[in-house]
Amino acid sequence: MKKIFFLFILLPFLSVAQTDTTLSENGRITSINEKGINTLVREYENILKAKNGVEGWRVQIMFKSKKEDLKQLKIAFIKLYPEIPAYLEYKAPYYRLRVGNCRAKLEAIKIKQEISKKFPGAYPVPEIINFSQLKN
């Protein structure tokens, strides 16, 4: 009785199981996608190329109107945290010191917590991250 019960439970799941790849006789893998998936992927790639990067996060340490003030702060940051990239950017009317290349906000929060003792006013900000700046 138990065998028949399990057969009726498992049979529907086994009969409708699907896969998106198949293995041919010569060992080549063929991917079978839903209609239009490749078009959407190409469209997304074009959007990312137009933005010249991907949406990501950095931690802003400070912004000021004088570049010289932030240059000294950037040098101090690099000495303390050489593994975290630092960027001095200008967006009128302020210069901004931002650090990190994070894909997720949680990564930026982790960096913020790491540097918060030395730089207590730091906070995560959304940013377009260039492809060359991202780690693989």
State pLDDT tens for residues 35-48: 788 888 889 888 87
Question: What CATH number does residue 91 fall under?
Answer: 3.30.70.1070
Residue type, 89: E
Residue 2 lies in a domain: no
* CA dihedral angle for residue 96, residue 105, residue 107, residue 73, rounded to 10 degrees: 10
Residue 118 lies in a domain: yes
Residue 48's pLDDT is 79
Residue 91 lies in a domain: yes
Residue 45 lies in a domain: no
Say how many domains are in the chain: 1
Q: How far apart are CA 22 and CA 31, in angstroms?
A: 7
Residue 43 lies in a domain: no
Range of lowest pLDDT (11-15, 108-112, 114-118, 119-123): 11-15
Measured at the alpha carbon of residue 123, what is the angle toward residues 54 and 75, in degrees to the nearest 5? Answer: 90
* pLDDT of 3 higher than 70: no
Q: What is the pTM of this model?
A: 0.67
Residue type, 52: N
Residue 21 lies in a domain: no
User: What is the residue range of 76's domain?
Assistant: 53-133
The pLDDT tens digits of the residues spanning 56-100 come to 999 999 999 999 989 999 999 999 999 999 999 999 999 999 999
Residue 25 lies in a domain: no
